[in-house]
Structure 1
Amino acid sequence: MWPWLKRRPQALPELRSPRVPARVVVPRHVVTATHVAFLPYWQAGVETAAFWAGPDSEERGIITTLVQPSLHQTPGNYHVPPAARMQMARRLGAQGLVVYAQVHTHPRAWVGHSSYDDAHAYSTADGSLSLVWPDYGRACPHDLEGIGLHVRLDGRWTELVSQEERDAHLQLVDDHLDLRFSIQAGGLHDDE
């Protein structure tokens, strides 16, 4: 029925540099944009995926770009075809960007990494990040609460449970700070 479900993925170039920064910084607008991108697939009842990319850096990865590749999707998984992976790699490479994290959805509340997720991950480099959004991406938790965060360590995917572990690998930052307590009139009078 779905040919990609039965075969092991063929060896493809990874979508990122093997140099993985210790911490990745994600602006909240990228989280919101990811949620908006996932909504049509929540409505369709199929898994989907996106990738978070930014300028290549060993020290701190800063997410600048949400990447939505061409996918094959079912209610239980997704597959990025080799041609779509190559297209992503070319487009990102031309801009000096690398993928720092994959973000994909699951049908229900479980946000663990399945064996399918492990086998089809975008990268096998230690330090790579994978986020799992529950309920096909229906809700948008701006603090990423309820979203599974996994890191590749010692050749396997490990879910980061404690906030301390999560913060060590992924830092959310505000992209807009409005620190005005209130907006007050400037004392101008309109004489008209």
Structure 2
Amino acid sequence: MRTSHIFCPLHTQRGFAALVLVIASAAASPALAQNSTQVQTDAIVLRPLSFFKVNDLDFGSIIASGTAGTVRIAPDGTRTRTGGATIVGNDGEPARFAGLGTPNRQVNISLGANSIFITGPGTRMRVRDFEIGSTPTAILSTTPTRFTIATAIGNYNFPVGATLEVGANQTPGDYAGTFTITLNYL
């Protein structure tokens, strides 16, 4: 049995960066200044029985009010709210994981804790109800949930969403924490 652990940072706000690349025609006038830029390229070569984080769980931008509320990010990326929490924009996203096993191999997936706290400039906020984007979706917990790798070559990927409890009059700022997800190949 092989075990992998992923520590996945959580964020409640995310900055955006944009890169614009302009390509000039080869027949450009010699009077134009020549500019160049370097762009990073990444590749991941999977090894058998691997497991890695593709992206972090991000609840996006939220406005708190005088009433407590929640923000839920579903495995499909849908954000919903309750109570006094207001969602701003579309900048949230579920965590995403990927790996390589073997076709029809069973795996157990579990969490290090059923809920965690994220911290920032104000009162810490609880994150709970971690949900995996399987068919059907399932709540993850410290008790392993068993899945079967269904692809012909054994590769897989899955998203994980959760619910954030936003306190009444929550202090504005960035809040972060980590959760642990464990995958055991059987």
What is the TM-score when the length of structure 1 is the normalising length? 0.26
- Comparing both chains, which one has the higher relative contact order based on Cα–Cα distances under 8 Å and sequence gaps of 6 or more? 2
Larger Rg over CA atoms: 2
TM-score (norm 2): 0.27
Larger % of strand: which? 2
